[in-house]
Amino acid sequence: MIAYLIRRILYAIPILVGVNLLTFALFFVINTPDDMARLQLGMKRVTQESIDKWKQQRGYDKPLLFNSQASGTNKLTDTIFFRKSASMFVFDFGYSDDGRSISREILTRMWPSLSIALPTFVVGLLLYVTFALLMTLFRGTLLDMAGVTLCVFLMSISALFYIIGGQFLVSKMWHWVPISGYAGGMDSLRFIVLPVLIGIVSGIGSSSRWYRTIFLEEAGRDYVRTARAKGLSELRVLFRHVLKNAMIPILTGVVAVIPLLFMGSLLTESFFSIPGLGSYTIDAIQAQDFGVVRAMVFLGSALYIVGLILTDISYTVVDPRVRLQ
């Protein structure tokens, strides 16, 4: 188990290098550091000296990938790519173009993101599982069919509709909560309710339907038939047998998503002007702040890999038949 984990973590390194290389290529194939400097300095007639100075300050005055003037391993290390990515592996993200520490920003902006993402995730999961379980209980009846139809209908509606409609109905018509914004402490509750609610509603369709399929698959197994043949009530069969076993694919699927909750949601955060990581990323992309985008991509990928490893571990925890080697 330990050996497996170590191997998985070591395997993550080349993947993260690849991710870095890809983002790097994406930004620099088209934009030279000169272009970036010009964009940041923001003037039409920028002198070459000020560009050079900007590049030197930010460390963009080296060759991109391969330094032919240096000697030995310096050929590879004395480059923008190496200098900028190596420090990422110890989670030192450097500074954004406006001079702020990216790590600091991430640490402060993480909380608003989490305060939206976590309740959405937990309450949503409970609701979806309950809904799916109900549909399974009434499977084959009109209720089940109505439930599935509702799910298909709900998942065919654009996420934009849920957000725009929700904001309009709850905030503009009924004046229950503010349309958007965020505040620290207990005050934030007012601002959180609506995005969380919308997040939950927009996920009902696809998630419940997916969980229902899992439940149904499990409910058709031999051991479930045996349990029914023993004379157990349908409810007991559902909760004691089906739910327990169906939770394996559900939980392991869910575990992969948990680390990514830190990243926040781009759409929700920009709609509700929540100062989280999602809106941070959007702003950075629009300002073409390479440092921030690279940091966020790195963070996202690292969290994704953590999610994959957690999934593997969770398999061994919930299903003793699975052994990692």
The dihedral through the CA atoms of 272, 162, 196, 179 has a sign that is positive
CB 26, min distance to other proteins, A: 5
- Our finding on whether 160 is near other proteins (CB under 8 A) is yes
Toward other proteins, which CB reaches closer, 70 or 324? 324
DSSP, collapsed to helix, strand or coil, labels residue 56 as: helix
Out of 64, 155, 232, 258, the only residue in the binding site for other proteins (CB under 8 A) is 155
CB 270, min distance to other proteins, A: 7
Out of 7, 9, 13, 35, the only residue in the binding site for other proteins (CB under 8 A) is 35
Out of 232, 266, 310, 322, the only residue in the binding site for other proteins (CB under 8 A) is 266
Closest CA to 212 of 145, 306, 264: 145
Check if the beta carbon of residue 164 is closer than 8 Å to that of residue 261. Answer: no
CB 153, min distance to other proteins, A: 7
**Phi then psi dihedrals of residue 93, to 5 deg:** -95, -5
- Our finding on whether 322 is near other proteins (CB under 8 A) is no
Toward other proteins, which CB reaches closer, 197 or 216? 216
- Our finding on whether 45 is near other proteins (CB under 8 A) is no
**Given the rule CB under 8 A, which of 19-27, 58-66, 71-79, 180-188 is the region that contacts other proteins?**
19-27
- B/e letters for 77-93, b = 16+ CB within 10 Å, e = fewer, are ebbbbbebbeebeeeeb
Neighbours of 61 (CB within 10 A): 15
- Our finding on whether 15 is near other proteins (CB under 8 A) is yes
Report how far apart, in Å, the C-alpha atoms of 237 and of each of 57, 136, 227, 309 are: 67, 12, 7, 32
Toward other proteins, which CB reaches closer, 20 or 245? 20
- Our finding on whether 91 is near other proteins (CB under 8 A) is no
Toward other proteins, which CB reaches closer, 131 or 162? 162
CA angle 70, 76, 80 (to 5 degrees): 95
- B/e letters for 181-212, b = 16+ CB within 10 Å, e = fewer, are ebeeeeebeebbebbbbbbbbbbbbebbbbbb
Binding stretches for other proteins (CB under 8 A): 14-15, 18-19, 22-23, 26-27, 29-31, 35, 152-153, 155-161, 164, 168, 172, 260, 263, 266-267, 270, 281-282, 285-286, 288, 293, 296-297, 300-301, 304-305
